[in-house]
């Protein structure tokens, strides 16, 4: 099967610091990767879509300068939460898709729990 | 814009009983439809998807869903559930006309199967 990992699984940081979350496709090359945010008892909210080697496409209302996304290779995307604040505390989930076809399956990582103190 | 409504946040059922998890969507464009399952401490897994053709879609683990265009629904069903089906289930849509294939999710339905 297609496996997507995220690191770290949990992170606690102080307000004002930056945190980097990695998303890796372990056994396939991902043309497209997605980043989601999930609040307790709520749906996954798409934050941004990234294609390898190009700039990410952010959803409306998501601050580009706060949530930096880098899709440096076909197996790695990173999300950096800059100058994190308590309101950024959430569950961040990435997914990866092999092809550029819209209907192809997205494979999801297990998520990263971010707590900002 | 698309939106997805999962009418039940929690569905408790006994083992071997049938179950239906409801999903309605709203969209100004044609969509693809998906159901994902999330087991504790695991990433979401695709259960099934509707792209075109037959409105009855069969997925993994004995689940099926029926696309109803007039009612804009995509309800998930299983005739006999097992305790191992206990999980969070998410309905999602994707714009057919978009090359990005972004998924828009409902809030999820927690299915709990009791012995």
Between positions 48 and 87 of B, the ones with CB within 8 A of A are 49, 51
For residue B57, give how far its alpha carbon lies from the nearest alpha carbon of chain A (Å): 15
B56-110 pLDDT tens trace = 999 999 999 999 999 999 999 999 999 999 999 999 999 887 777 888 999 999 9
Count Cβ atoms within 10 A of the Cβ of residue B96 and give its class: 0-12 exposed, 13-18 middle, 19 or more buried. Answer: middle
Alpha carbon distance A107, A88 (integer Å): 24
Alpha carbon distance A112, A115 (integer Å): 10
Q: CB–CB of A102 and B96 under 8 A?
A: yes
Output the six-digit token pair for B96: 């057919």
Q: CB–CB of B46 and A106 under 8 A?
A: yes
Q: What stretch of H or E contains A81?
A: strand A76-81
Count H helices, E strands: chain A?
Answer: 0, 11
Instruction: pLDDT tens for chain A, 117 residues: list them.
Output: 689 999 999 999 999 999 999 999 999 999 899 999 998 778 899 999 998 888 899 999 999 999 999 988 999 999 999 999 999 999 999 999 988 777 888 999 999 999 999
Alpha carbon distance A95, B34 (integer Å): 15
Q: CB–CB of A103 and B46 under 8 A?
A: no
């Amino acid at each position: 099967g297609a496996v997507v990992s995220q690191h770290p699984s949990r992170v606690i940081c102080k307000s004002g610091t930056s945190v980097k979350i990695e998303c890796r496709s372990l056994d396939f090359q991902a043309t497209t990767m997605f980043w989601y945010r999930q609040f307790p008892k709520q749906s996954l909210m798409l934050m941004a879509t990234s294609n390898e080697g190009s700039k990410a496409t952010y959803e409306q209302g998501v601050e580009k300068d706060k949530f930096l996304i880098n899709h440096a290779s076909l197996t790695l995307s990173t999300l950096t939460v800059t100058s994190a604040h308590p309101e950024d505390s959430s569950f961040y989930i990435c997914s990866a898709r092999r092809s550029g076809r819209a209907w192809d399956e997205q494979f999801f990582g297990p998520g990263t729990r971010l707590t900002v103190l | 814009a698309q939106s997805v409504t999962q009418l039940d946040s929690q569905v408790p059922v006994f083992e071997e009983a049938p179950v239906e998890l409801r999903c309605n969507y709203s969209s100004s464009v044609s969509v693809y439809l998906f159901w994902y399952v999330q087991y504790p401490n695991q990433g979401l897994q695709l259960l099934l998807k509707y792209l075109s053709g037959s409105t009855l879609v069969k997925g993994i683990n004995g689940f099926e869903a029926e696309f109803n265009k007039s009612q804009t629904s995509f309800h998930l069903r299983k005739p006999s559930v097992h305790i191992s089906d206990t999980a969070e289930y998410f309905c999602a849509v994707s714009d057919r006309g978009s090359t990005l294939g972004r998924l828009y999710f409902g809030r999820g339905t927690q299915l709990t199967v009791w012995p």
